[in-house]
Structure 1
Amino acid sequence: MGLLAGCWSAAATAQALDAPNVVVIGPNLVTSGQPTAQALARLSQQGFEAVIYLAPSSVPDAVGTEPEVVAQQGLEFIHLPVPFGSPTEGHFESFAAALQRLKGRKVLVHCQVNMRASTMVFLYRVIFEKESPASAWESVTRVWSPEGPWKRLALSQMVKHGIKFDPF
């Protein structure tokens, strides 16, 4: 795919997905906040093959029928609820295992606002995909600057995996 075609495809994906803070990481990976029920019902038309949902289903804007809407399209649905105020290394490890298993498939990783998703995907990219931390960090800063427990999680995981990068 040429550069222009890739840019057009990323822009089309971001525009077609009705959700806050859509960030297209690549042709097979997109992060976002909570998509609308209508957007969830159109994911297969956009080529998505799986959804990883990181917010608890009890958050106010959750789509209660999301697992069914996603499954009806033949997409895999993985719910890994991460409490916003207390993400752990175990949450990241579960997320990384799920994303590794889905490798090669087009995946939407979302939460409420794309704070959980952007940070978890950043860590996955730098630890497992060996991407440049500075480059991968740009996708996070399009949404927020992690603080508190999210900052601690990001820093601790990078230290654990020998990644020297401190954007804070």
Structure 2
Amino acid sequence: MRTRRSRSRPARMEDPSDIRNWQRRPDGITTSGRLEPGDPARLAAIGIRHVVNLALADHPEALPDEAAALAEQGIGYTHIPVAFDAPSHAQVAELASVLANAEGPVHVHCIMNYRVTAFFYLLDIAAGVPEPEARARMAAIWDPLSSDDPRVAPWRALLASSAP
């Protein structure tokens, strides 16, 4: 006997949680660390329509020709290169603008998801999320406010300048 295939909608694909430091935020935006060659197709499979990359293109772990790999999957791309030792409020504002204008679900990544979670901390604070909640979201991946590592000093300064 032959079984009929259901014409119902396909099951929602699972988040690719094995991508480095994967997170799905309460607002539905997904974030992660670096993308690998098969990840653009995986992002497309879960419905991502736009990717924002905060990493430097010449980082040794950067996905080569990321824009083209995403375009092959029908995913838009914005690159906001953020040097780890020089994050700025202008870059946070640029991310906010992209998020406000991008069509469809958005994924934001860098190499470790550190830049991303710190920028979202600032965006959350600006949106009225209570500081402890915004910090907990960031600290699930990285908490530069608690670090005494000198390499994190630019991040502590950026985050402290916007803390309530």
Is the pair's TM-score, using the shorter chain for normalization, greater than 0.5? yes
TM-score by length of 2: 0.81
**Match status 1:19 vs 2:24:** no
CA distance in 2, matches of 1:27, 1:33: 19
CA contact (8 A) 2:17 2:23 kept: no
Residue in 2 aligned with 1:126?
A: 125
Q: How does 1:73-84 map to 2 (within 5 A)?
A: 73-84=73-84
Question: Higher helix fraction: Structure 1 or Structure 2?
Answer: 1
What TM-score, normalized to structure 1?
A: 0.79
1:64-143 equivalent positions in 2, closer than 5 A = 64-102=64-102, 105-127=104-126, 129-143=127-141
**How many residues are aligned here?**
146
Looking at structure 2, the residues matched to 18 and 58 of structure 1 have their Cα atoms a distance apart, in angstroms, of 23
User: 1:89 is matched by which residue type in structure 2?
Assistant: H
Alignment deviations for residues 82-137 of structure 1 (CA, whole Å, 9 cap, x no partner): 000111121111111111212x731111000000011111211221x322221122
Structure-2 separation of matches of 1:19 and 1:57? 18
Alpha carbons 1:17, 1:35 under 8 Å: kept: no
CA RMSD across the alignment = 1.9
Gaps of 5+ in 2: 1-11, 145-151
Paired residue secondary structure (2:78): strand
Q: Which runs of 5+ in 1 are unaligned?
A: 1-8, 159-163
- Post-superposition shift, 1:152? 0.8
Instruction: Show structure 1 runs of 4+ deviating over 6 A.
Output: none
Identity of aligned residues (%): 27
